[in-house]
Amino acid sequence: MSASRYTYLGPAGTFTEAALRTLPEAATRELVPMVSVPAALDAVRAGEAAGALVPIENSVEGGITTTLDELAAGGHLMIYREVLLPIAFALLARPGTELSDVKTVTGHPAAQAQVRKWLGQHLPEAVWESAASNADGARLVQEGRYDAAFAGEFAAATYGLTPLVTDIHDAQNAATRFVLVGKPARPAARTGADKTSVVLWLRENHPGALLELLQEFAGRGVSMMRIESRPTGEGIGQYCFSVDCEGHITDRRVGEVLMGLKRICQDVRFLGSYPRADEVVAEVRPETDDDAFLAASDWLTRCLDGRA
């Protein structure tokens, strides 16, 4: 039963649902909106859902701390897919409304951060009121409480609204990254354009500790794509690090990095290797590709056998 169910950060009609629907398998699953990221993830932990789609990073707001902290400190889950969704808002209103009629606008606070410039230029007099979600804002417009809501264009039909303007986004390349999370199991298969995620707790806080950690990546030519420090909750100045790097755990250079991290860190949580949503194949230096590792390993064996 649960294997046919995916939870996601609801309500219905938000960007998260739109992101989830880009996955082919979503067509054959029961998609269940949840009130929060922890709720969506707990359903997976409890075996009530096979996966959960949650936002993890936003190009304007940064890391989604609830998701990062749940993945770092909550019951162990792993990432199997990522979805990158360009963020563009539509301004939705009841049919018949003109842009010049709009005096009050609503949406999620995160939306406000991404349309502020547009508002200043096109509706400088409009009053903003925050809603619990973009979908909730659309509902409030439907109920007549506000004149217009910022939401995904796909939410218009659900709430019987009309898009007054579409493709609104202050920043170029604005996007949100979502991850599909499940219980720990074998990592997703290697595609050649992969990403690996870990959470790292340093053993000690000496001046070069973070440097040593980065050296494990750089020394093997593995590019770090994201690093975020998160408080461990044990006081100001106590952090763990959430890191994404290019490559798959089955790539020798990545496996070596992971083992190196495991040795020098107090703890490492492996969050999975999975296909990159941008499908970019990282450039690998000849001295760090699988052939180089294999050749070095063969040579060491020959040295041990007196045949080098």
Q: Which of residues 29-68 bind a copy of itself (CB under 8 A)?
A: 57-62, 65
Q: Name the maximum alpha-carbon separation found in the chain.
A: 86
User: DSSP class of residue 48?
Assistant: S
Of 140, 151, 146, the closest CA to residue 126 belongs to 146
Q: Which of 75, 160, 186, 191 binds a copy of itself (CB under 8 A)?
A: 186
Nearer to a copy of itself, 144 or 286 (CB): 286
- Residue 168: Cβ-neighbour burial (10 angstroms; 0-12, 13-18, 19+): buried
Q: Which of 221, 247, 274, 275 binds a copy of itself (CB under 8 A)?
A: 221
Element housing 114 (H / E): helix 109-122
Q: Which of 136, 194, 216, 251 binds a copy of itself (CB under 8 A)?
A: 216
Q: How many other CB atoms sit within 10 Å of the CB of residue 20?
A: 26
Of 153, 90, 162, 101, the closest CA to residue 126 belongs to 101
Task: Answer yes or no: are the C-beta atoms of 304 and 256 closer than 8 Å.
Answer: no
Positive/negative CA dihedral, 289, 295, 300, 301? positive
Q: Is 124 in the site for a copy of itself (CB under 8 A)?
A: no
Q: Is 201 in the site for a copy of itself (CB under 8 A)?
A: no
Q: Is 190 in the site for a copy of itself (CB under 8 A)?
A: no
Task: Answer yes or no: are the C-beta atoms of 8 and 16 closer than 8 Å.
Answer: yes
Segment near a copy of itself (CB under 8 A), from 6-14, 100-108, 137-145, 219-227? 219-227
Segment near a copy of itself (CB under 8 A), from 24-32, 89-97, 135-143, 265-273? 265-273
Nearer to a copy of itself, 145 or 230 (CB): 230
Segment near a copy of itself (CB under 8 A), from 12-20, 121-129, 148-156, 213-221? 213-221
Pairing mode, strands 51-58 and 175-182? antiparallel
Nearer to a copy of itself, 139 or 177 (CB): 177
Q: Which of 177, 197, 199, 274 binds a copy of itself (CB under 8 A)?
A: 177
Q: Is 208 in the site for a copy of itself (CB under 8 A)?
A: yes
Segment near a copy of itself (CB under 8 A), from 8-16, 23-31, 149-157, 172-180? 172-180
